[in-house]
Structure 1
Amino acid sequence: MNYGRLPIAEQLDVFRATVLRNGLVPEILARAAEFDLPGWYLTAGCLCQTVWNVLTGRPPAEGIKDYDLFYFDDSDLSWEAENSVIEAGAKLFGDLPAAVEIRNEARVHLWYEERFGVPCAPYESTEAAIDSFPSSTPCLGIRQTRDGAWRVYAPHGFGDMFNLVVRPNPVHAPQSSYQAKSRRWQAQWPQLTVLPWLPRGNPD
């Protein structure tokens, strides 16, 4: 079945049911809800890769290197403040059989250029950080409240994910980042269709 052709509300239901087949996802969401970092989301590859695994007949958690937990706190941009959160998270998630990578997206602009070779304007929110991923396909975020309600952020929808399409998102990320990620993903999920990089401003 082509889930990408379902009405968006039904796509959301399929997305939720599918990612919950990865037992680490609900466990991380429940613990993160108690952690209650400002503006937090479980985001990026761990979500679309879970879906790709299920669609291609693999175990839901197979090959997922880490689980990205983003938050946004611009009240203190020091490394010490972020590191204290990371250390607390290491205690909270440390017994899980996968790494939970916690990062304050309010600080990204302080180190991005040194790492990737291009500047990055300060983000205004966690959602803005998700918007800037090198590929639009994993631009997804989920958050759970303590009573179990979900907030889902999916600025590009779910169609590419369900259709196993990796699409570039040249907001500011360098071409090299997209190409490195897409090569790694396609090696693990050969069924993926990787679309070529387009310079910023060109139509898809």
Structure 2
Amino acid sequence: MLSSEKDIIDIIQQDERMMAIINAADQLGLTDWSVCAGFVRSKIWDTQHNHKQPTPLQDIDVVYFNPNNISEAAEKALEDALRRIISDVPWSVKNQARMHLKNNFPPYCSTEDAISKFPETATALGITMDECHKLVLIAPHGIEDAIAMKLRPTPHFRTSESRKAIFYKRVHQKNWQAHWPMVSIANE
């Protein structure tokens, strides 16, 4: 069972496919980036459920922060570059310097700030590499909910009833409990 950030980093380091994906993202040369969301959360939940095969992901989210070029074309060019490195990955690259516009939120100031505003604490996770190519876990709300397999809204999604409704709608649509039956929804 997982109990620490080190445990999470260890299971990711032991997964050749995950490391290939992280190394591909690192090759883009971005300064503030992460492979995030379901990429990390699903690995944790698969491990906690003793799943022998990784859960297939709809996409692999690579996020970065560059306020100097917020064009979607830049994101698509990065996706193309990633596909040239690993062609069979469903890459999704998003510059968090523009995503606040899509979400109608105040501007984010970094990749970590954007991840902190994901809907669920268990999904508000990312993995990146430092300048020494060492894995670094980004967990602005900690790892406790991910490890405990508890779904709760991030503080950003607790600020209004409309944001809470978005959280609950998303949890319902994703239906994570069908695949990971030990996942629970926290009462807020």
Q: When the two structures are superposed, what TM-score results if normalisation uses the length of structure 2?
A: 0.85
**Deviation sequence 1:135-179 (CA, Å, 0-9, x none):** 111221111247431222112222221111112114158334322
Distance 1:121 1:175, change over 3 A: same
Number of residue pairs matched by the alignment? 182
Q: Which residue of 1 aligns with 2:76?
A: 83
Judged with a 3 Å threshold, the aligned counterparts in structure 2 of structure 1 residues 65 and 83 are, in CA distance, closer, same or farther, namely closer
In the alignment, residue 192 of structure 1 is paired with which amino acid?
Answer: V
Q: Which residue of 2 aligns with 1:120?
A: 105
Structure 1's consecutive aligned runs of 4 or more residues displaced over 6 angstroms after TM superposition are none
Q: Does 1:150 align with 2:99?
A: no
**Residue equivalent to 1:103:** 94
Amino acid at match of 2:111: T
Q: Could you tell me which residue of structure 2 aligns to residue 63 of structure 1? A: 56
Is residue 166 of structure 2 the alignment partner of residue 181 of structure 1?
Answer: no
Distance 1:149 1:36 in 2: 15
Relative to the length of structure 1, the TM-score reads 0.79
Equivalence for 2:43: 50
RMSD of the alignment, in Å? 2.2
User: What runs of 5+ residues in structure 1 fail to find an aligned partner?
Assistant: 5-10, 113-118, 199-204
Q: Deviations over 1:61-89 (max 9, x none)?
A: 22332221101111022223333223323
Change (3 A) 1:177 1:188: farther
- Structure 1 residue aligned with 2:116: 131
Please name the residue that 1:8 is paired with: none
| Runs of 5+ unmatched residues, structure 2 | none
8 Å contact 1:65–1:99 — kept in the other structure?
yes
Once residues 40 and 113 of structure 2 are traced to their aligned partners in structure 1, the CA distance between those partners, rounded to angstroms, is 18
Deviations 1:176-202 (A, max 9, x none): 432233232122211111113x4xxxx
